[in-house]
Amino acid sequence: MDYTNIIFKTEENIATITFNRPKALNALNTPLLNEFSNALDEIYKNEAIKVLILTGAGEKAFVAGADITELSKLNALQVKFFLKKGHEIIDKLQMLPIPVIAAINGFALGGGSEIALACDFIYASENSTFGLPEILLGIIPGFGGTQRLPRLVGKNIAKEMIFTGKMISGAEAEKIGMVNKICPKDKLMEEVLNTAKNLAAKGRVALRAAKEAINWGMNSDLATGCAFEIDTCALCVASEDAKEGLSAFLDKRIANFKGGLK
Ligand code: CO8
């Protein structure tokens, strides 16, 4: 597939998807969502890729939401299909078996915040702005915001953001636990890449297991989550990276993880 609404590149073992409609502040229209979905499928199939970074093209935005121009022409049934497509893609992003870091370089509004909420870490530049402003359009978040935001920051903070539609700075988003780290604008990608390289050097099986245990556990009760953790941790022990990690400790040397799937 040719990509025009996103830029998809892989350097060494780190993939980057850049949302690329800067004239519309990278708003999510159907062609962009199709390309994003296809790129995620490519990443699923490519075992060499160990970390994914998401960011936005241009100086102003990560993603300013779903494309309001496109949405305003749809009837309720068509909106339902559009939203279902969005949910399927964002679920696929969340379930990706590798770490995903959102590098927020400006506005992350509506669908932009909702994509970030499905990532594992959110790093944001000092000039970033977050918000779920759908209420100001007479609608509500439709790409998972009413579900993922309260799970991350708590029910009442999420309600305040969603009921008022207010925008908050990256620094405020960090304070409420939505953002992992705030970086100077010109250092954002450097910081994100440093973290991505750190993660890429870890055992792939263990990273995947940790991500699954946390994601599934957060959606279940404590006992179910702990039972899942026991099984997943035990399975990790069968991996070559675990053999390497455990024997490196006993040999008093630094582990050299190959990061394979065995
Ligand atoms: N969709 C389409 N175009 C957009 C969007 C968007 N979400 N955001 C910005 N643009 C376009 C503008 O129309 C403008 O285009 P043009 O130059 O052709 O007029 C261009 O991007 C630049 O934008 P502005 O001139 O507005 O830039 P400012 O710096 O003045 O303002 C803002 C930046 C504050 C980000 C402003 O553009 C804005 O408020 N954008 C909309 C943000 C928003 O409401 N996002 C939520 C969208 S809804 C959603 O994500 C989920 C919907 C699910 C339910 C759907 C049911 C129908």
- What is the DSSP secondary-structure string of 103-144? EE-SEEETHHHHHHHTSSEEEEETT-EEE-GGGGGTS---SS
Query: 145: Cβ–Cβ under 8 A, 6 or more apart, which residues?
Result: 110, 113, 114, 117, 132, 134, 162
The answer to whether residues 159 and 233 belong to one domain is no
Given the structure tokens 């029910």, which residue do they identify? 155
Confidence grade of residue 177 (pLDDT, cut at 50, 70, 90): very high
Mean pLDDT calculated for residue range 199-212:
94
Q: How far is the CA of 191 from the centre of ligand 1 (A)?
A: 28
The answer to whether residues 158 and 212 belong to one domain is no
* Digit-coded pLDDT (tens) for 94-107: 999 999 999 999 99
Ligand 1 binding pocket (C-beta < 6 A) is 24-25, 27, 64-69, 71, 79, 107, 109-111, 133-134, 137, 139, 141-143
Confidence grade of residue 48 (pLDDT, cut at 50, 70, 90): very high
Per the structure block, which two tokens stand in for 166? 């207010």
Q: Is the pLDDT of residue 164 over 70?
A: yes
* Encoded amino acid at 39, one letter: A
- Burial label for 81, CB within 10 Å (0-12, 13-18, 19+), is exposed
Q: Is residue 221 part of a domain?
A: yes
pLDDT at position 33: 98
pTM (2 d.p.) = 0.96
The CATH number of residue 230's host domain is: 1.10.12.10
pLDDT at position 259: 73
Catalytic residue among 134, 190, 212, 244: 134
From 19, 21, 23, 25, mutation site for ligand 1 pocket: most ligand atoms within 8 A of C-beta: 25
Q: What percent of the chain has pLDDT over 90?
A: 96
Q: Is the pLDDT of residue 260 over 90?
A: no
The answer to whether residues 18 and 124 belong to one domain is yes
The answer to whether residues 224 and 154 belong to one domain is no
For the chain, the average pLDDT equals 96
Confidence grade of residue 261 (pLDDT, cut at 50, 70, 90): low
User: 154 to each of 53, 100, 146, 151, how far by Cα in Å?
Assistant: 26, 22, 11, 6
Q: Is the pLDDT of residue 188 over 80?
A: yes
The answer to whether residues 234 and 118 belong to one domain is no
Q: Is residue 260 part of a domain?
A: no
From 68, 107, 132, mutation site for ligand 1 pocket: most ligand atoms within 8 A of C-beta: 68
Which residues span the domain enclosing 166?
Answer: 6-200
Mean pLDDT calculated for residue range 115-127:
98
- From the CA of 107, give the closest atom in ligand 1: 35
